[in-house]
Structure 1
Amino acid sequence: MFKPVLSLLPVLLIASAPALADAVEEHEAWSASDTSLRADAAGISLPQTIAGLSLAKSGEVSNGGKGIDNYAQYLSEDGAIQATVYVYLPSYADSSLAAHMTDRAIMERFGTKTRRTAYASAPLAGQTGRAIRAVYEDAADGALTTAAGFAHAGRWLVKLRVTGPTERRKEVLAGLDSMLNGLRFDDPGSVKPIAPARFAACPTQDGTDAKLTAQAPAAAADAAPLIEGRASFCIRGQVRTAEGSYDVLQQRDVANGAVIVPVDDAGTVMTFDPAAAGKGYQLSIHSIGQTQLFGVYDRVPSSRQIAEILGGKDPQTAQARTTAHYAASGEVIMRHAGAAQ
């Protein structure tokens, strides 16, 4: 049964997919020149020095050798200001949702004194409205200022974080703005327009319990695409587990539309999509570089059931029948439960 491993804010992206030994070609996460650092698979680069911050290290957060979960860390000369850029390939790619979940994680971690002083669209790659820029002050009982930026280019998401002492706020903000200005894309046209997500309450109320009517057919994932989550959602409800609370989002203005549950700030999203045959809802779990297909319910599960699924306690939810693994090259590797490895 599914049970998520929630990310910790200092490590914004976590391992979520098992390594596929010899299944896909291994990639170096980054290539460096004298002046720049480039995530080759994504075609995204940054200078090695940005607003007094210098590159300290780079590599992969998880999925070693796959080039789908990449980070680079920058530091001030005294190490007091830290910045990180993440370039990653979630199977449910929605930069507005990534910003929303990171916003929640920051506000929850750094305490009630934390103030959000900026959260709006920003220019990127010479175009307006192609990034989200967020600033948080008085974090950690007034000790820190932290700032974040988000972008979506092709199949890839970019997340930037800069943190430093409150008294060096100007340097933190200069670091973030310089990183946004310094981002370069092989294909500037691939940078998508984005804006902060705003979720109103849905008119839809929580329903009765659902029944698992079928396991996911093995062939269902053969066409499983990477999802670019640009649909408009409202808040259908909220569920709570031992690990925390989660919003249940309903697709707006679409009869029998999808329902999603963002799980963490590391790209994990639970979805209930209308089943292919038009009867019921397919449960899928999206994360970094993979989609797992579970069974089909006759309706969207109730909040109580969703909480049980999130907590790994739903008696109806079987193991994923099929998993799609996405490579940096665009290749998709299908794995079916019970199939020979």
Structure 2
Amino acid sequence: MAPLRRPPPPLRRLGIRAPAQPDSRLSRRGLLTAGVLAGVLAATGVPVEARQRGGVLRLALAGGVPDGADWSQAHPVLLLAAHETLTEIAPDGALRGALAEGWEAAPGAAVWHLSFVPGAVFPDGTPLRPRDVGASLRRPGSPLAADLADLAEAGPRGLRLVLRQGDPDLPFRLADPALAVGRGGRLDGQGTGPYRSAGRDERGLLRLLRAPTHRLDGRAGWFEAIEARHLSEPDERFAALREGLADLVEALPPHRLAEARAAGFRLVGDAAETAPAEEAAGADGPAHGPRLAHGALSRLGPLDDGRIALRWWFAG
């Protein structure tokens, strides 16, 4: 078989528009993303290598905080910290491989050959197998299951997919968090991602711990841990933000957004709130632990939003 390759340029970029309304998620101190850091640091003279791993990202979520081993309904931010998809949408909107290092379609785009990255392992060291990917694509609720006519392993790191109808956009579809890969197709917080679930702590918070080593070291997964609390009421989430119990909250109503802005909190994704990122690249340093700098995750669209725990970091 010919060497696997990525799709030609027309398939490699997804046009993502800014949402009509600003994202209602708020950051207590702001955040930096991989999509904005290079320009910010270049402008301030701080090398990209200055980013440091560390700190705990604290989230207050309206739902999707698993309580047990069933992560099928987990919030994408949590799910994609522990489990990976085959492809992903980069911060600049380009399509790139995640667990898939290559993909090639036969004429008509009904038959696809995928190859997987080496070094993808589960927390116990078991390597990712094609059967894990196949089971994940056919998992109940999978948005791709009904379109699959056949799946067949193609060596230790390959899979052949046959679709019922040709689909040249398949590589983009594979970035969907609903197609995250798990061992035997299971979503349990113990995937091939840089983080793995440590369950609930004595405070009732879900904790995800960073793997000591991971193939994405130096490229993704900058927090040492993630903590998530489920606060169903918007007022509870705003209180967590105001009291310093959360770094990022989601889904606040308009009147709370206005109040939060007046209190100095930053709206994640607001195009008018890009300047504070520059100050985070200064020389204050992490005197009391790393500090967050502002970013604009929400403007990148839903396929990117769930990767906050991988692409964002504390900037000292």
Task: Give the shorter-chain TM-score range.
Answer: under 0.3
Structure with more of its chain in strand, by fraction: 1
Higher RCO by CA contacts (8 Å cutoff, separation 6 or greater): 2
